[in-house]
Structures are given as C-alpha cells and as structure tokens.
Amino acid sequence: MSEVTPKPEETKKPNNRTAIIIALLSIIVIIQSIKIYLDYQDKAEMNQQLATTEEDLATTMQQLKDIQIELDQKIIDLEKLGGDITELEKAKAEVDAELKRTRSRTSRNIKELKDRVDGYEQLLKLKDEELEKLKSLNKELFSENRNLKTTQNQLSDSINRLAKNTDVLANKVAIASQLKAENVSVVSVNSRGKERTSPFRSKQLETLKVDFNIAENKVAPVEGKKIMIKVTDENGQVIFDVAKGSGTFMLDGKEEFYTVAQEILFDNTRQQLSFIYEKGSEYASGTYTVDIYTDGYKMGQVSFTVK
C-alpha cells in the first residue's frame, strides 16, 4: 500500500493556531505593561500629594505651637491686669487638644485647621488691642490712687464695651458675607433635552433642573462652598435618595436632608450654577418648594407645581 500524503490544509492548521496563541500572549503582555505603568503613575501622584499634605500639616502644626505660646503669655498678662481671659482659655484648650491628636488628617482637615489658625491669630490681635488699653488704664490707676474705685469701674466698662463691640462686629460681618441666589428657575428636562417650565405634568417631569447665579457680595471671601438644594413636597417630605447624591446638613442646630449638592469655589463673579436631579419615579401632584442652602443658612427659594 502506498503512504497517504497529508493535505496542505491539514499541515497549516497547527501553525495558524500557534500564531494566534503568540498574538494573544503578546496582547496580554502589552496590557499588563500598560497597567503597571498607569499604577506607577498613580502611585507617584499619590506620593506627591501625600508629601504636600504632610508639609502643609507640619507648617500648620508649627503655627499652632507658636499660637499656644502666645496664648499662654496673653492669659498671664491679661489676668494680671484684670482682663477677661475666658475666650483665650477656650482657644488654649482647643489648641492643646489639636496638638495632642495623633491620628492622620486629610487635606480637608488641614484646610479647616488652617482656617482655625487664622481665627486664633485674629483673636490674639484683638486681645493685643485690649491689652494695650488695659495697660494704659492701669497706668492711670497707678498715678491716680485717690480715684482708684472710679478708674476700676471705667476699666470694667471699657472691657465690656470692647467685648460687646467685638461680638457685634463679628455678627455684622457674618451676616453681610452671606451669599444670595439670584434668578432662580426650575425646569423639567426630557430625554431629548427639551425643557418645560412649571406647572409640570407628572409624566413630563423626567429630570428636574434648578438654575441660578450667586449674587455679587464684596464682603464675602473667595473660598470653597457646599451648595445644597432641598426639594420639599406640600406635606413637608423632602425628596431624598442617598444613591443619587442626597445627604444631610445642620440647620439651626438640627439635622436636615438635602436632595442634591455641589461643592464649588465661590469667586464673586456672579457665577451660574445648575443642579440636576432624576427622581426615578413620578412626582405626586401638588406644590413643591426648592430651598437653596450653604453654611447653615438659606440663599434663596423657588417653587413649582405638578399637575
């Protein structure tokens, strides 16, 4: 019998399979290499951010230590002159507690700590003024022993007025720096991007959109703000879904719900903001209130109706 010669197609199949396997292995190696490179980049970036955060923390903690020393000295000086050291003792307790903390701090914690450092420095400046006035009045007391009782009363009155003026000024600045929402509007947006104004039909209200701009305020500082939108039905129930960005905040000492929020940098340019919320179910008929909040106060309000 003669030998059977393999057909050309049968001899090529193993070679083709080998080539495919090699190609797949090459692709896997490339993908792994890319992943390793991206992981390295992410790690390098995280290390850089960590280094910056640690540097900021070290600087801020050194400032706190310096403030701690100043507070100790101011308490001694004011106490000798009969001044009010209540605020200084409270600040001293806060600084001592902060310096004893051992757990790590996030970038946000460090930013808050820096703000507190600024506040302590302002308090020390106010107390410097108070101390100078006390020194001046005490010199008068020393040279006018016959009028000691009268001068002591004047000293007490001066300290009280200074404390009251400080509180009044702080309250005025806090109120004046509050932000206001202007040109607040509410529209519904369907899947094709078409917008409708109130009143809405329930089936038309697929997505709720709230637009407004922040009014100019020359007193308010440029800083980060968390702006919150609270949508409430006519029964007082807040539209709320944690899975869609809802959460809670403190208002007048009570915990309140908000529907959706954004964190922005307020730059005093009358910036325009838009908030989008998809409820996922139909709105009940009735009148809804949209309140806008930040930093524990209301910026504005608007309402809409669902038929």
Q: How far apart are CA 22 and CA 210, in angstroms?
A: 56
- pLDDT recorded at residue 26: 79
Q: How far apart are CA 56 and CA 107, in angstroms?
A: 9
- pLDDT recorded at residue 164: 63
- pLDDT recorded at residue 212: 98
Global model pTM greater than 0.85: no
Q: How far apart are CA 269 and CA 271, in angstroms?
A: 5
Token pair belonging to 111: 């930013």
- pLDDT recorded at residue 1: 46
Burial letters 12-48, b for 16+ CB under 10 A, else e: eeeeeeeeeeeeeeeeeeeeeeeeeeeeeeeeeeeee
CB contact set of 108 (below 8 Å; sequence gap of 6+): none
Q: How far apart are CA 115 and CA 104, in angstroms?
A: 18
Q: Which domains does the chain have, with CATH numbers?
A: 54-176 (no CATH), 181-306 (2.60.40)
Q: How far apart are CA 289 and CA 302, in angstroms?
A: 6
Question: Block means of pLDDT (10 residues each) for the chain, length 307 residues?
Answer: 50 70 82 73 60 68 84 85 83 81 67 78 82 78 63 66 57 75 95 90 90 93 96 95 94 95 95 94 94 96 95
- pLDDT recorded at residue 238: 97
> What are the CA-CA distances from residue 193 to residues 71, 187, 205, 261, 262 (Å)?
59, 11, 12, 22, 22
